[in-house]
Structure 1
Amino acid sequence: MTIAAVVYAGCWALFAWLGDSWLQLLLAAVLAVVFGQLGFLAHDLGHRQVFRTRRPSDVAGLIIGNLGVGLGWGWWTSKHNRHHANPNHEDHDPDVSPAVIVWSEDQVARSSGLPRFIAKYQAYWFFPLLTLEAWHLHIASFKALLNPAAKRRKLELTLLVVHAVIYLGAVFAVLSPGKAVLFLIVHQGLFGVYLGSTFAPNHKGMPVLTKDDKLDFLRKQVLTSRNVRGGWFTDIALGQLNYQIEHHLFPNMPAPNLRKAQPIVERYCAEIGVSYLQTGLFESYGQALSHLHEVGAALRRPPAAAVG
């Protein structure tokens, strides 16, 4: 957390020092990664991995999420916890709701409008659409806090507004209007791609559950999750979410310990005959994209010829 805070502050100091320069677009790319790393910390705080008690977790989560990154930490944590309770479940997991991308053939059959248009070739649309993911999360954060019943509504909304004012104010104060707009496009676009690229290998392309699937806790978590092999670089780049199976089984386990739990869980799954999937990073993307392409296959078939 200290390293992330120092790098975050250093990037903005460098931003001020560079001034109205085209080099700021390179810094925008670096900041996209820094924002992503802060997002991982907010994720871990939401799972109570960092502090023993709730209050410091909430304080740190609000500072990093709402103030530092501009994402509603309380709203996202609640949504993410619903995902953990029912991963890849059509009816209960908000991460597989057919908002734009559709995740199963049943969703394709029920789709209409933009999701149906996208679904036909959604494997090709997936990464381009991720450039809009950060903007979507910012808007969704504000939208969730418009609900009067939202928890800590005034505090979270205030922190989001403060972030937006300082962030946009700094960008447009230092850069010319054209460079400022390009900076926002590059920074937020790559931030969205980075976030999406770290979460996509975890569940996309794995079985999508319905109300007819009756699984115990272990199978529900393991069979819908995929681990990604790699060394220290992969661990850092993916926020240690590459140990997705272990994370879903033990969501409160501090992320640095997941790699220690991994061989134990893998051996146990082998003993009881539960499929345990672990692939390379690019193979995981291939499986996810292949699944998305197969889901939309029905829309690519030519309509049946009329009879009579």
Structure 2
Amino acid sequence: MTATRDSSTDPTAAPRGSDFAQLTRELKAAGLLDRRHGYYLVRMSLNALMLGAIAVTFVALGDSWWQLVTAAVLAVASTQLAFIGHDAGHRQIFRSHRHNDVVGRLHGSLTGISYQWWVAKHNRHHANPNHEDHDPDIEIHALAFSRAQAADKRGVYAWITKHQAYLFFPLLTAEAVVLRISGLVALARRELRAPWREMALQVVPLVAYLAAVFVVLSPVKAIVFVVVHQSLMGVYLGCSFAPNHKGMPIIGDGERLDHLHKQVLTSRNVTGGRWVDALLGGLNHQVEHHLYPHMPRPNLRRAQPVVEDFCLRHGIPYSKTTLRHSYGEVLRHLHDAGAPLRTSAR
């Protein structure tokens, strides 16, 4: 990495006299770019208590179908852990890369998502959100996010894409497993640094998880437990990420936007108060998060009105809607993107 600072990934590198630099200075002056160690200590402590309670309940219930409730609660806890891993990947918790990576790797091992693989993928998304050629989050075999993408689908992928608006939520049940497998595939392909460490972080917790489930539960109950846990975790993860960019403008090949417009125009905020903040891990403040990915999660809510006012004054469209309406926008966009396949089938 060179010493040159790229404004596409470091918004504070904007020219001092620019409007965006002025916004950055306002947020810095308000302390909104300062770390919030106390918040994250409390959040991680609560997550640890939740995991402990789940473990005690799991052992106490034993071989019972009531364990499916435990699996559902574990899916919620796993997703909350993934949110902490996300924040660590963006250096929202500590200024030190090393300290964030320790937290991120720990949480990645607990959720089954390779932290190293995910950070590399997610950084590409942040650099070019909703860009057809560069954003891995819209390069999904079974889904199309534009009519041009749909036209390239073949075989079973074409059939899925044709009905993708109806299949979207069912497909999310595989999201957690897909993320887990993707990390293991990257490991097998030797795409990750320190492969022995990565193997330990991914494989050892997986073996321990399966051993605990199959020791305590009968084979049938154990399989159902894993399916419920992983499926609900996948749906929760997908429902947390989908409203952020899906249905927002797609950037085509050759289109170039500055950091400010690229991040604001492709992002959508979800309103609803602090319960939505907790439910979605702060990702509901997606505009602010994409403009300032290092900003700690609890500061995003305070930054939101400042950023919205800035966009209003500078004539930049700022998108926000309720959680329910955001899913409606996502599904309508997916239905429209799949239209060429439905038309060609007639």
Tell me the TM-score range normalised by the shorter chain: over 0.9
Structure 2: distance between partners of 1:261 and 1:254: 11
Output the amino acid matched with 2:90: H
User: What is residue 152 of structure 1 aligned with on the other side?
Assistant: 194
Q: Mark the runs of 5 or more structure 2 residues left unpaired by the alignment.
A: 1-43
Q: Select 1:121's aligned residue among 163, 179, 186.
A: 163
Offset at 1:114?
2.6
User: What is residue 74 of structure 2 aligned with on the other side?
Assistant: 31
Q: Select 1:40's aligned residue among 72, 83, 92.
A: 83
Question: Which runs of structure 2 are paired with 1:60-209 in the superposition (5 Å)?
Answer: 60-66=103-109, 68-209=110-251
Structure 1: distance between partners of 2:115 and 2:304: 28
Q: Mark the runs of 5 or more structure 1 residues left unpaired by the alignment.
A: none
- Which secondary structure does the structure 2 equivalent of 1:278 belong to? strand
Structure 2: distance between partners of 1:276 and 1:146: 42
Rate the CA distance shift 1:16–1:294 in 2: closer, same or farther, 3 A.
Answer: same
Structure 1: distance between partners of 2:130 and 2:193: 26
Question: Which runs of structure 2 are paired with 1:272-283 in the superposition (5 Å)?
Answer: 272-283=314-325
Question: Which runs of structure 2 are paired with 1:3-22 in the superposition (5 Å)?
Answer: 3-22=46-65
- Residue 262, structure 1, aligned to residue 323, structure 2: no
Offset at 1:303?
5.6
- Residue 224, structure 1, aligned to residue 266, structure 2: yes
Aligned partners of 1:87 and 1:93 also within 8 Å: yes
- How many residues get paired? 303
Output the amino acid matched with 1:37: Q
- Residue 51, structure 1, aligned to residue 94, structure 2: yes
Rate the CA distance shift 1:111–1:26 in 2: closer, same or farther, 3 A.
Answer: same
Structure 1: distance between partners of 2:212 and 2:191: 32
Structure 1: distance between partners of 2:230 and 2:214: 15
Offset at 1:147?
2.5
Output the amino acid matched with 1:5: A
Structure 1: distance between partners of 2:123 and 2:247: 21
The alignment yields a C-alpha RMSD, in angstroms, of: 1.1
Aligned partners of 1:102 and 1:115 also within 8 Å: no
- Which secondary structure does the structure 2 equivalent of 1:301 belong to? helix
TM-score, normalization: structure 2?
0.86
Offset at 1:113?
2.1
Offset at 1:231?
1.1
User: What is residue 340 of structure 2 aligned with on the other side?
Assistant: 298
Aligned partners of 2:151 and 2:341 also within 8 Å: no
Rate the CA distance shift 1:123–1:257 in 2: closer, same or farther, 3 A.
Answer: same
Aligned partners of 1:98 and 1:115 also within 8 Å: no
Percent of paired sites with the same residue? 53
Offset at 1:88?
0.5
